[in-house]
Chains A and B, each alone.
Chain A
Amino acid sequence: MPDLATLLEILIIVVKVSVISGILFSLPLPLTWIERKVAGHIQVRLGPWRVGPHGVLQPFADMVKLLIKEDIVPERADKFLFKLAPLLSMIPAFLVFVAIPFGEKFAIPFVGKEITLYLSDMNVGILYILAIGGLGIYGMILGGWASNSKYSLLGGLRSSAQMISYEVSMSFAAIGVVMLTNSLNLLEMVRSQSGSFLDWNIFYLPVGPVWFVIFIIAALAEINRIPFDLPEDEGTLAAGFHTEYSGMRFSFFMLAEYVAMVTVSVLTVIMFFGGWNPPLDISIFHLVPPIFWFLGKVILFIYFFMWLRFTLPRYRYDQLMTIGWKVLIPLSLVNILVTGLMII
């Protein structure tokens, strides 16, 4: 029989897991709303307006619609894989958050017990995130193949090729950050960037900004956002790999996509923008709980991705490959060399 302390530990973990997955499951609600609002205002429109004040209830209406929509499985599809694929893309997106820290410790008032703001402090955190995050691609490939439709298959093929090309430069960027911070552990990464904003990795001149650019571009390609959303390019592929999906299963893909966007924003903040460290090392800034700094930065990045989406056109497929293989990879190789020299 385990003693009380162990039980409490287990209870805390269970609570943390449920809180995080609850938040992740409900994330698309605010994010779709924000995304449509940003789209609207960038195009000098209003965005959602009619359902609730400023259209805030629009995502709920959409959710209800997706839930009660007919779930169509194409007749000639590979039924098993077709049903499995949305889960395959959703689960890795959630699993990534096992290793993501949201802060150091947090003391519950009145009880005097400290809980950590992360699930697991892995010493291979960044590797784990890249590895598990990369698994989401199977949902797209298999979903595209199982639908037995030409658009889906092409979307799946595109996403696999795109993924292989950009995973390399994304890992290189991660290696660069690991070299700068001397650790694979995300907590260590943040700790090594404490101090003012000049200590953040992005300001580690001259290599920091280059790593940041490489990482952001590769990450954009990895999570299939514009300008690299070729697997679901409406212009040429209907809806790409999820053409045949409807209702709930489609919303799983959407969920995975939004969670991936949040993951990338979080990773960018942790790797380059000092995590939960305030921008200046002065006492006023330390009054604000670190989690707010963290969330603020993450939200800024989420906005940045949406902003990019409604600014840039989509790349052609050959351009995508050129950027990946002929620009990013040589650049990251050179940059690894420079980083190594700087560290010595």
Chain B
Amino acid sequence: MSKGPSRIAEFIKKALFLDFVKGLSITLKYNVSRSITLKYPDEEKWVPDRRFRGQHTLNKDENGRELCVACELCVKVCPTKCITVIPMEDDTGRGIADRVAKVWKVELARCMFCGYCEDACPTRAVRLGRDYELACLDLSCTTREKDELLKPQSIPDTIQGGFVVRSSFERTPEGIRVVPDLRMQKKRNI
């Protein structure tokens, strides 16, 4: 049991609805503050940091030669067994060695983006990139082939990432895309 004066204070607090006022003022503050919702995909898009693990990408060296030597280490290390690599002999200078990948494909539907393949790769050929809009209409598009993976990513490596940019939402017959406008950066504290 509380003592006299504090009980009186309690009563006054209740009679004046002080707790209510406190709660209401907090919600009012939030009501007028900026909302943290990203207007994705209509107007804004989050550009991830470099460490982000999105869709795979295969790199080339500065002379445009494929870095992958088809050693199949990534295949071995992958916990979900979703990478397929078939090596072949090629001394035309397509790759950095005589051995290149004839087939290099990853099934994104099974991949869990753990990044082990990236760590296992001796030549730093495979990297997990920053493309994260992987939704599509049927299972066929969940497999990414080598030609597609060799194309540069939509966000170049020179961009630090970790901010929000303006973007536009495009509906094309092939599907929907969110095209970021990398010049318009906005800092968001999330």
Complex: A in contact with B (CB within 8 Å)? yes
Residues of A within 8 A of B (CB): 38, 40-46, 49-50, 213, 307-308, 310-312
B27 interface residue per 8 A CB criterion: yes
Contact B35 A44 (CB under 8 A): yes
Known: A312-B20, A312-B23. A307 touches B39 (CB 8 A): no
Question: What are 9 A-B residue pairs whose CB atoms fall within 8 Å in the complex?
Answer: A44-B33, A44-B36, A45-B36, A46-B37, A49-B37, A307-B28, A307-B31, A311-B26, A312-B20
Closest to A45 in B: B37
**Interface positions of B from 25 to 64, Cβ below 8 Å from A:** 26-28, 30-33, 35-37, 39, 42
Contact B27 A46 (CB under 8 A): no
Considering the chains assembled together, what is the distance between the CA atoms of A310 and B20 in angstroms?
12
Considering the chains assembled together, what is the distance between the CA atoms of A311 and B33 in angstroms?
16
B24 interface residue per 8 A CB criterion: yes
Considering the chains assembled together, what is the distance between the CA atoms of A46 and B44 in angstroms?
14
Give the chain B neighbours of A50 by CB distance below 8 A: 42
Known: A49-B39, A50-B42. A44 touches B20 (CB 8 A): no
Q: Which of B27, B33, B39 contacts A310 (CB 8 A)?
A: B27
Give the chain A neighbours of B28 by CB distance below 8 A: 307
Q: Given A40-B35, A45-B35, A45-B36, output 19 extra A-B contacts at Cβ < 8 Å.
A: A38-B31, A40-B37, A41-B31, A42-B27, A42-B31, A44-B30, A44-B36, A44-B37, A45-B37, A46-B37, A49-B37, A49-B39, A50-B42, A307-B24, A307-B27, A307-B31, A310-B27, A311-B20, A311-B27
Q: Min CB distance, A135 to chain B, in Å?
A: 31
Contact B35 A41 (CB under 8 A): yes
Q: Min CB distance, A81 to chain B, in Å?
A: 39
Known: A307-B24, A308-B24. A46 touches B39 (CB 8 A): yes
Contact A42 B24 (CB under 8 A): no
Closest to A43 in B: B30
Considering the chains assembled together, what is the distance between the CA atoms of A45 and B30 in angstroms?
10
| Most-contacted residue by chain A among B20, B26, B27, B42 (CB, 10 A) | B27
Considering the chains assembled together, what is the distance between the CA atoms of A274 and B13 in angstroms?
28
Give the chain B neighbours of A213 by CB distance below 8 A: 17
Closest to B26 in A: A311
Considering the chains assembled together, what is the distance between the CA atoms of A44 and B32 in angstroms?
9
Q: Min CB distance, A49 to chain B, in Å?
A: 7
Considering the chains assembled together, what is the distance between the CA atoms of A43 and B36 in angstroms?
9
Nearest 8 interchain pairs by C-beta: A46-B37, A311-B27, A42-B31, A41-B31, A42-B27, A46-B35, A311-B23, A45-B37
Give the chain A neighbours of B17 by CB distance below 8 A: 213
Give the chain B neighbours of A312 by CB distance below 8 A: 20, 23
| Most-contacted residue by chain B among A46, A310, A311 (CB, 10 A) | A311
Give the chain B neighbours of A307 by CB distance below 8 A: 24, 27-28, 31
Give the chain A neighbours of B27 by CB distance below 8 A: 42, 307, 310-311
Interface string of B1-30 (1 = CB under 8 A from A): 000000000000000010010011011101
Considering the chains assembled together, what is the distance between the CA atoms of A307 and B31 in angstroms?
9
Give the chain A neighbours of B33 by CB distance below 8 A: 44
Give the chain A neighbours of B20 by CB distance below 8 A: 311-312
Considering the chains assembled together, what is the distance between the CA atoms of A41 and B28 in angstroms?
9
Considering the chains assembled together, what is the distance between the CA atoms of A41 and B34 in angstroms?
8
Q: Min CB distance, A220 to chain B, in Å?
A: 12
Q: Min CB distance, A315 to chain B, in Å?
A: 13
Q: Min CB distance, A40 to chain B, in Å?
A: 7
Closest to A310 in B: B27
Q: Min CB distance, A338 to chain B, in Å?
A: 15
Give the chain A neighbours of B42 by CB distance below 8 A: 49-50
Known: A307-B24, A308-B24, A312-B20. A42 touches B39 (CB 8 A): no
Contact B30 A41 (CB under 8 A): yes
Give the chain A neighbours of B32 by CB distance below 8 A: 41
Give the chain B neighbours of A308 by CB distance below 8 A: 24
Closest to A37 in B: B31
Considering the chains assembled together, what is the distance between the CA atoms of A46 and B27 in angstroms?
15
Considering the chains assembled together, what is the distance between the CA atoms of A131 and B54 in angstroms?
64
Closest to A313 in B: B23
Contact A311 B36 (CB under 8 A): no
Give the chain B neighbours of A44 by CB distance below 8 A: 30, 33, 35-37
Give the chain B neighbours of A42 by CB distance below 8 A: 27, 30-31
Give the chain A neighbours of B36 by CB distance below 8 A: 44-45
Closest to B33 in A: A44
Give the chain B neighbours of A38 by CB distance below 8 A: 31
